[in-house]
Amino acid sequence: MRNPKTFNRIKNTKLYNLVKKFSVYQYIRKIFKKTPMYAYLTFGCNLDCDYCTTKHNPPENKSKSYPIEKGEKWIEAINRIGKDVIFTGGEPTLHPDFIKIIKNINEKILISVYTNFCWSDEFTQRYINEITRPVRFYGSYHYSSGKPEKVIKVINKLREKNLMEGVIHMVDPHDDDFFKKVKEKFNQNGWYFFKTQRVLNSYERCSMSFRKTVECSGKIIIIAPTGDRYQCVSKLFRMKDPLENIFHENLKGNKISCICHDYGFCSPCDECYKINKTRN
Ligand code: SF4
Ligand code: SF4
């Protein structure tokens, strides 16, 4: 049996992450990987980042008016559908039933979580006490996260209990000196730390200055806090054209396509969509 301690140490090395990024590993993984579901548990967050995509869909952004649905609904739907799930938001750990949801999802389903790791001591302790199954984290550090030591304390605690598998990175570090200082702190604690850039509204499709009709398709499953599926993140934010609701019915396939009249109002998260034909 693999030793999780050794495996986690390897997974947090620069070499491992570089190999993953550039090798055929990603290509092969894409072929065999089941399409996961992106479950937006809540759009609430304990941080307030300027570049947050939840702020970049004016004037029709309705993400803050989504209600919080009970954990039981999520558990039943995710177990029935059986797809791997990626919890996102907002900050998904703020859903009041977050730990209950993780605990009750079938062990065969892979769980990933996007989180800023700005967890309270109490929440971290509860997580450690109650969760035994593996969860993959896509951790992000932000300017508004406060001192890096706060985040490092949380991920070190998880690592001590073999509960930390995943990556930690900084979003949009326009201040290179600041990024280097933060990186050093994470590295000193044995964490591989890298940066990612958000490019907001710089693409034609996200300019929000015109609307065009196009054929748009993608193989991505996006579920709103209400259980409604949407074609893309932009439509999810705008509550536009909801599709099937996973709390009441099964998914109707992975790939979806539509004639969309809102090209120009895409979200920066919708880059992967294929625009097939411009209609006007
Ligand atoms: S931590 Fe993430 S979800 Fe929260 S405000 Fe920042 S970018 Fe948005
Ligand atoms: S064109 Fe943009 S807004 Fe329309 S469905 Fe595609 S990604 Fe969404």
What token pair was written down for 108? Answer: 């065969």
- Closest ligand by atom to 52 CA: 1
Query: What CATH class is the domain 4-198+220-255?
Result: alpha beta
Q: Which atom of ligand 1 is nearest to the CA of 171?
A: 7
> How many Å lie between the centroid of ligand 2 and the Cα of residue 216?
6
- Closest ligand by atom to 140 CA: 1
Tell which one of 239, 262, 265, 280 to mutate to probe ligand 2, the residue whose CB is within 8 A of the most ligand atoms.
Answer: 262
SS3 of residue 155 by DSSP:
helix
Burial of 219-246, coded b for 16+ CB within 10 Å and e otherwise, reads ebbbbbbbbbbbbbbbbbbbbbeebeeb
Indicate the pTM of the whole model.
Answer: 0.88
d(CA 19, CA 24): 9
Give residue 3's pLDDT. Answer: 47
> How many Å lie between the centroid of ligand 1 and the Cα of residue 49?
6
- Closest ligand by atom to 56 CA: 1
Give residue 29's pLDDT. Answer: 55
* CA-wise closest residue to 112 among 179, 209, 36: 36
29-to-21, 34, 192, 233 alpha-carbon distances in Å: 11, 9, 22, 24
Kindly tell me the burial class for residue 115, based on how many C-beta atoms sit within 10 Å of its own C-beta (0-12, 13-18, 19 or more): buried
User: Cβ(45) to ligand 1 under 6 A?
Assistant: yes
> How many Å lie between the centroid of ligand 2 and the Cα of residue 189?
42
Kindly tell me the burial class for residue 14, based on how many C-beta atoms sit within 10 Å of its own C-beta (0-12, 13-18, 19 or more): exposed
125-to-24, 107, 118, 157 alpha-carbon distances in Å: 39, 22, 13, 9
SS3 of residue 216 by DSSP:
strand
Query: Residue ranges of the domains in the chain?
Result: 4-198+220-255
Tell which one of 203, 213, 214, 236 to mutate to probe ligand 2, the residue whose CB is within 8 A of the most ligand atoms.
Answer: 214
pLDDT in tens, the chain (280 residues): 344 455 455 556 666 666 665 555 555 555 556 789 999 999 999 999 988 888 776 678 889 899 999 999 999 999 999 999 999 999 999 999 999 999 999 999 999 999 999 999 999 999 999 999 999 999 999 999 999 999 999 999 999 999 999 999 998 788 899 999 999 999 999 999 999 876 655 578 888 888 999 999 988 999 999 999 999 999 999 999 999 999 999 999 888 899 999 999 888 888 778 887 666 5
Give residue 172's pLDDT. Answer: 78
> How many Å lie between the centroid of ligand 2 and the Cα of residue 275?
8
Q: H or E segment at 187? A: helix 176-188
SS3 of residue 41 by DSSP:
strand
d(CA 248, CA 228): 9
42-to-72, 90, 104, 270, 279 alpha-carbon distances in Å: 15, 6, 19, 19, 35
Residues 6+ apart with CB under 8 A from 255: 217, 218, 219
Q: Could you tell me the sign of the dihedral formed by the alpha carbons of 141, 142, 145, 148, in that order?
A: positive
